[in-house]
Each structure stands twice: as structure tokens, then as C-alpha cells.
Amino acid sequence: SSDLRIMILGHSGVGKSATGNVILGKETFKEIKTLECEVQSGKVEGRSLSVIDTPGFNITSLNTEPWRTEMKKGLMLSSPGPHVFLLVHRLGNFSEEDRNVVKWIRENLGNEALKFSMILFIGREEMTTRQWGKFTEDSRTKDLISCCEGRYCVMNSKREANPAQIIKLMEEIEVMVQQNGDRFYTQEMYDAVHRVRIIEVTKEKEEMRKEHEKKPNPKQDSCMILEESYMNQRCKDDGANKKMAKVIPCKKEEESIRSLSESKREIKTKFVKDDFRKQEETRRDGRLREELQWVCNLIQ
């Protein structure tokens, strides 16, 4: 039969590379932080396998676009496409990445990818039977498994590798492949998801732009308030100026009248003084004439 193609997914540090080595039964992947997709091949139970290791979901050095480029590369390495996305989850407390793994797959690979997905819990030897039972009854565990239509498998960590668990994993994968009619996730499925995503992002940006245009601009509002305040002040100033324009002529007229009255008083005072002086001079001249006449009479 044809080879079985397995793409390993999970957040950084869960042990994806180590899991690939355990499945293939040899040291093929370097167990360091994976930054690029890599494919290795081997045989398990007579079945040819191609295992594709991928960067972790939470690698901060990869933004959205570079990560998508790596995913495209991974799909090319698994050409014509992976039969299974093996979602590696280390047993223990649920991290933020664990809670968001299904959301991440839906957003980046589409709902169709979940039909080709299986959960692989690793680190079983670190749990007691009671702890394992409690873990499987946890609502978060149930939600995670249900998103993959109940498909999951359990393995020990690499240092406690159990061949029987590898065989069980391969059997579960074979069942899933048969249920999917030997179909696999394709590049076309991936491209379709991202075409829809581009449309959604474009629509969201347009809605945000329209919403932004509806919202008042604080700077424009400030300018309008200042302009309105300025115009109001101008109106007040204009009104005051008009009042002043009316008042000032009145004041000027009053000042003119007052000035004229003062001039009249000054003229009248001067006239009275001049008249009094003339009268004094006339009286003085009369006395002089009388005195001269008296002297003349004495001489005669």
C-alpha cells in the first residue's frame, strides 16, 4: 500500500520532534526548538511512513505570514497531503495554547482539517491511574477530544517508550484513514480556507473603517469647539463694539457741548472783566478831570 503521511502539530515545547523519533523508531529529528518544517521517513509494522515536524504555534519569532509560509512548505513536504494531523498534547495542566489549539486549527487550516485530526497525549507514565481517570473526566479534555470526533491515543514520553503504544497509535490512524475513504488534507483545502480568511479580514477592515468614520474625531471636535468659541467671542466683541460705537458719539457730543459751554463761560467772564476794567478806567479818568478842574480853579 502507499505510504502514510503524518503531520505533527502542537505548541512549542510539547515534544513534537521527540514524538516523531518515537514513531519512526530512530533519531531523525533534532530535538531542539523547531523553526522550519522537516520531513523524515521510515517503516513501522511494514507500513511506509512520512512524518512531518512543524514549528510550534507559540513561537514568537514567527508572525502570522511566515508561519503560513511554513505550513505551505509542510503541505508540500507531505505532498499530495497529510492523512492525519497528530495534535501532540503533554499531559498535565491545560495551558493557554492547549485551550486554543482547536481554535487555531479552525482559523488556519479550517474545520475540514479536524476530520483528519487526532489527539496524542504523551507522558502517560507520569500519571497514576486515578490521575488519568480524573484527567479524562475533565470537561476541557472532553471538549478537546470531541472536536476530533473522539479520536485520541496515549503514549509514554520518549524515555519510557512502549512499542505496544506505537502499534496502537498506528491502528487508530489506519481506522481513521479508512473512515475518511483514504482521503487526505490537500493544498486546495488550505488555499480555500485562506481565500475565505482574506475576504473576512478585508470585510472586517472595511467595517472598522466605516465605524471609525462614524466615531467623532476628538481633534476635529476640539477644533470645532475652539472655532465655535472663537465665533461666539467675535459676536460678543462685535456687539460690544456696536454698543461702544453708539456710546462713543454720545460721549463725544457731550464733550463738545461741555467744551462749548466752557468756552462761552470763558468769553462771558472775559467780557465782564473787560467791561469792568473799562468802567474803572472811565471812573478814574473822570476823577482825574475833576481834580484837574479843581486845581485850575484854585490857580485862577
**Per-residue cell: 287:** 476823577
pLDDT band at 62 (very low <50, low <70, confident <90, very high): very low
Q: Reply yes or no on whether the pLDDT at 247 is more than 60.
A: no
- Mean pLDDT of all residues belonging to the chain: 80
- What would you report as the CA-atom Rg of the chain, rounded to the nearest whole angstrom? 53
pTM of this structure: 0.66
**Per-residue cell: 291:** 481834580
| Amino acid sitting at position 226 | L
Cis peptide before 80 (omega within 30 of 0): yes
Return the sign of the alpha-carbon dihedral for residues 230, 234, 240, 244.
positive
Q: Give the number of C-alpha atoms closer than 13 A to the C-alpha of residue 107, restricted to the C-beta side.
A: 11
Q: Note the pLDDT tens digit of each residue in 116-172.
A: 999 999 988 888 999 999 999 988 889 889 999 999 999 998 778 888 999 999 999
Task: Classify residue 144 as exposed, middle or buried by CB count within 10 Å of its CB (0-12, 13-18, 19+).
Answer: buried
Reduced to 3 states (helix: H, G, I; strand: E, B; else coil), residue 181 is coil
Element (H, E) at 120: strand 117-122
Strand arrangement, sheet containing 152-155: 38-44, 47-53, 4-9, 84-90, 117-122, 152-155
Residue-wise burial string across 92-108, b where 16 or more C-beta atoms lie within 10 A, e elsewhere:
eeeeebbeebbeebeeb
Size (the chain), residues: 300
Q: Note the pLDDT tens digit of each residue in 194-238.
A: 888 788 888 888 888 888 887 766 555 565 666 666 567 666 666
Fold of 4-206: Rossmann fold (3.40.50)
**Cα 110 to the center of its chain, rounded Å:** 25
Q: Reply yes or no on whether the pLDDT at 53 is more than 50.
A: yes
pLDDT band at 61 (very low <50, low <70, confident <90, very high): very low
d(CA 120, CA 145): 10
Q: What are phi and psi of 45, to 5 degrees?
A: 55, 40
